[in-house]
Every structure is written in C-alpha cells, then in structure tokens.
C-alpha cells in the first residue's frame, strides 16, 4: 500500500483526473442512452473522431486525454483550447472508464447532439438520403451511415425504433461520418416517407421480395433522380406499411446461390448504384441518328 505523497490532499484537483473526479464520472454516464437523452450529449473516442468533432463549431463540450495522448495529439488539444473547449488530463484508469474500445488512443470528447429536424435536412436539397428504419444493431447502423457518406448522401435518417445514433458502437462504426452528414431522428417512419416524397425525392424500399430489380431501375434511368433509400433490420426487414408507402420495392439481384445479402453489403450496392447513376451523363432514349438502319 502506498501513502499519498506528503502534503498532497486527496480531494484536491491536482494531477490528472481519476474515474472518481466528478466531471469524469458525469461524462462516463453518457455510455447510457438515458443519460445521453437527458443531457443531449454523447462521447466520441479516439483521435479521428475527436478531430472530426472539432471541425464543427460548438459541438465539443469537453476534451479528456491522457498526458501522453495530449502530447502526441497536441494539435487537437490546441484546437480545442482555441475554441474555448476545456481540455483535461485524465489517468489511464479514467480514460478506460470513459471509452469502450481496447485501444482508444488516449482521447475522448464530450459532444453535443448534432441531429437536425427532418424539414431542415430536406431544405438542404440533398439528392441522396438513407433512412434506417428500425435498425437496432448499432454496428450495422454506423456502417450504413459511413457507407451513405461515402456514396455522397447528404442526410441519414434514424427512423422509428432505430438505434440511438449516439450509441458508442454506432459512433465508432460510422468512422467519423456521424459528423459529415445531416443526421435526423424521427419517430414515425411513415411520416418520413411522406416528407421525403413531398420534397421531391423518389423513395425506394430495399427488400429481398421487391418487384423491381436494381439493375433494371438503373438501366431505365430511374436512379438518376434525387432518391431516398429505405433500409430495414437484417432480422425483420422493412415493415409492410413502409414498403407500401415507397415509390418502388427494390431487390438487389442475387446472381449466385446466396439467399440474401447482409445489410451493409445491400446498402452499399444500392447507394453506390444511385451515386453512379446521378453522376452519369444522361443518355436518354436513342436519338434518330443513333438508331442503326
């Protein structure tokens, strides 16, 4: 057993924060959805996420880091300080309490929720939108968010009883994309579909039982217009009321003997089919000159 160093009071804030320091204890509670909802805050861990979060003014409330990490990533610490974000050293134990990964690389930021109302996202004129309807798995949701960002989607809607976008695993799986797109939370997915259509987007529901083949839609030029894709959970798919409300029910073609694709793969194929169609020069119907005699 070690005695505390002579002359050092145990209750004084001297040296790095420990897991019992009140600000660390408060931040740690953000692992729970209830506390995220009540405070409107969440945790973003690791230098990549912290860097992304700091690009959005006012988003980061507080930054914690081990002394080694704050030295290694002193550009991030300086950027936080410039933005009047409190930066605090924490012990390895405190960092472990604040993070969920095995190798969090020493940094974690407390951030404000960043979702926007659906109508605000729709006024931005996004030409590609992804809707996660009832997707409960945070890793799947974060992966689709990341893929949607990569494909150029401007907004991702977490609809119905979808996972909390600020769930730690979702934040990590998004690999920073949570900070790149308009994130929307909406309770009623049918209302979301109506709003998307009213905003001029074609709404396509992905389902293994769809009556439209993705390639056929692409060939017909129907993916070139502004589009919102609806994705359901791997276990249950989309509810009937949503597939019925969409403009088309689309299946990804299965050329081999697999019975289905997993969610991340299906979303990637659909979103990238739209991205490609929206960026291709319109070919239109054959002109008189192009018809072979």
Q: Judged by CB under 8 A, does residue 1 bind its own copies?
A: no
**Residue number, 116 or 265, with CB nearest to its own copies:** 265
Q: Judged by CB under 8 A, does residue 152 bind its own copies?
A: yes
Query: Cα dihedral sign for 146, 180, 201, 240?
Result: positive
**Residue number, 191 or 254, with CB nearest to its own copies:** 254
Given a contact cutoff of 8 angstroms between Cβ atoms, the answer to whether 95 and 64 are in contact is yes
Query: Cα dihedral sign for 114, 166, 168, 34?
Result: positive
Shortest distance (Å) from residue 229 CB to its own copies: 14
Q: Judged by CB under 8 A, does residue 138 bind its own copies?
A: no
Render 194-238 in DSSP notation, one character per residue.
HHHHHTT-EEEEE-TT-SEEHHHHHHTTTTSS-EEEEE-BTTTB-
Query: Cα dihedral sign for 182, 188, 193, 198?
Result: negative
Q: Which of 11, 84, 240, 289 binds its own copies (CB under 8 A)?
A: 289
Segment contacting its own copies (CB under 8 A): 10-18, 163-171, 221-229, 258-266? 258-266
Q: Which of 122, 170, 242, 275 binds its own copies (CB under 8 A)?
A: 275
Q: Is 2 exposed, middle or buried (0-12, 13-18, 19+ CB in 10 A)?
A: exposed
Q: Judged by CB under 8 A, does residue 252 bind its own copies?
A: yes
Q: Judged by CB under 8 A, does residue 204 bind its own copies?
A: no
Please give the residue ranges that form the binding site for its own copies (CB under 8 A). Answer: 143, 146-153, 173, 175-177, 180-181, 215, 218, 252-262, 264-269, 272, 275-276, 279, 287, 289-293
């Amino acid at each position: 057993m070690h005695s505390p160093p002579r002359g050092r009071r145990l209750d004084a804030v001297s040296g790095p924060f420990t897991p019992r320091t009140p600000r660390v204890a408060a931040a740690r509670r953000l692992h729970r959805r209830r506390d995220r909802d009540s405070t409107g805050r969440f945790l973003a861990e690791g230098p990549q996420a912290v860097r992304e979060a700091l690009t959005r003014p006012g988003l980061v409330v507080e930054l914690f880091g081990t002394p080694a990490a704050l030295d290694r990533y002193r550009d991030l610490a300086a950027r936080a300080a410039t933005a009047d974000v409190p930066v605090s050293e924490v012990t390895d134990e405190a960092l472990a309490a604040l993070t969920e990964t095995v190798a969090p690389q020493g940094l974690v930021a407390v951030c404000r929720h960043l979702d926007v109302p659906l109508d605000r996202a729709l006024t931005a004129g996004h030409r590609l939108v992804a809707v996660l309807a009832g997707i409960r798995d945070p890793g799947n949701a974060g992966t689709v968010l990341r893929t949607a960002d990569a494909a150029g989607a401007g907004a991702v809607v977490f609809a119905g009883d979808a996972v909390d976008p600020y769930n730690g695993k979702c934040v990590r799986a998004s690999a920073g994309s949570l900070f790149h797109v308009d994130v929307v939370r909406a309770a009623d997915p049918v209302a979301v579909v109506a709003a998307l259509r009213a905003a001029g987007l074609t709404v396509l529901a992905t389902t293994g039982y769809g009556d439209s083949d993705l390639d056929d839609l692409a060939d017909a030029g129907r993916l070139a217009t502004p589009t919102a894709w609806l994705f359901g959970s791997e276990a249950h798919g989309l509810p009937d009321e949503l597939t019925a409300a969409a403009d088309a029910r689309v299946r990804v073609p299965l050329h081999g003997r697999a019975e289905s694709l997993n969610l991340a793969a299906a979303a990637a194929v659909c979103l990238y089919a739209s991205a490609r169609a929206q960026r291709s020069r319109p070919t239109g119907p054959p002109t008189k000159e192009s018809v072979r005699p």
